[in-house]
Amino acid sequence: MKTQQFNDLRDMIQGLTISQLKSLQNEINRTLNSQEGPLLTSEERDVLAELFS
């Protein structure tokens, strides 16, 4: 999404009702939770382990 499209979306959110905002929040939370993965790749973990050993 381009920056202007994101800004337009943010502006549109201002016009939503409380009920609509809560519904959108729930949908965003579901999307974020379903996309959770490891915070670091195995390569990143290995590099960090080397730095602190």
In total, how many domains does the chain have? 1
- Write down the pLDDT at residue 18: 96
- Return d(Cα 22, Cα 5) in angstroms, integer: 22
- Return d(Cα 27, Cα 7) in angstroms, integer: 19
- Cβ atoms 26, 34 nearer than 8 A: no
Whole-angstrom Cα Rg for the chain? 18
- Retrieve residue 32's tokens: 């974020």
Domain that holds residue 22: 3-51
Residue entry with tokens 């915070």: 39
- Write down the pLDDT at residue 38: 77
- Write down the pLDDT at residue 40: 84
DSSP 8-class letter at 16: -
Give the model confidence (pLDDT) of 3-46 as tens digits. Answer: 999 999 999 999 999 999 999 999 999 988 887 777 788 999 99
pTM over 0.75: no
